[in-house]
Amino acid sequence: MYVNKTTGARISSSTYKSLTYSEKSYWIYESSSTSSSNRSSSNDGFIESAVIGAVTDSAIIGGLLGGNIVGGILGDIFNGGDLMD
Q: Report, as an integer, the average pLDDT of 18-44.
A: 73
The pTM is what? 0.48
Pairing of strands 10-11, 27-29: unpaired
With a cut of 70, say whether residue 40 has pLDDT above it: no
pLDDT value, residue 83: 58
CA 38 to chain centre: 7
Angle CA(60)–CA(49)–CA(38) in degrees, nearest 5?
135
In this structure, what DSSP letter does residue 26 have?
T
Size of the chain, expressed as the number of residues it contains: 85
